[in-house]
Structure 1
């Protein structure tokens, strides 16, 4: 029987990657690395016409991958409720990231769902309009 801390026996996952296309690869990498504070873990160039960058935290089994095709990487515009939510225990860390992203031209935006604001989270749009939510862990319920 799986525990709360493990994957089910029939679904032993070694790594999780969330991937999406962009036509603004360098801007997106700057947002997530310089702005948010993730690290560039790897990347590739001209793999069947694609360039890509993986970002995340070293040594952890999950990361984000952004790809761009040489002929363009059209992606449907996200809704205001397509979210990447990061739960962060230190409110000062959230404030530091929000200030840094704001100084880079990415101010906080009003969340689509008022739940996030009610819980003290801050929502910011990345260069493609996808939304990042920085959620203080004391707001979890």
Structure 2
């Protein structure tokens, strides 16, 4: 009987908004690359609208926290993390403090990987390194 491949772990990507900014474009590119690799991916934002929303693959989960600003999102993000249980949370440096607070509130022990300022490949390598391995 053939072995069933182990599904890849879920990755969440939190962005402060979906405006057409450099770090947001990089986060969307990372989400697409992870999806192409076979990871289930959720892109989480305080508000779901923005120029980059139309560029997202429909297979990538789009989670709108219904908050006006990233700074008011830690509790809603914590709830999302507790519900979705990603193996890793990737965030631009500008919202890393929000992500760390949300992980503490969720009591999940989810690794936070700060992406941005580096290329997509370097960010993917950091995410893969932080992803727990089974077996």
Common fold by TM > 0.5 = no
Q: Compute the TM-score of the two structures, normalised by the length of structure 1.
A: 0.31
Between Structure 1 and Structure 2, the one with more strand by share is 1
Between Structure 1 and Structure 2, the one with more helix by share is 2
Q: Compute the TM-score of the two structures, normalised by the length of structure 2.
A: 0.32
Q: Which structure is higher in RCO with an 8 Å CA cutoff and minimum separation 6?
A: 2
Q: Which is higher, the Rg of structure 1 or of structure 2?
A: 1
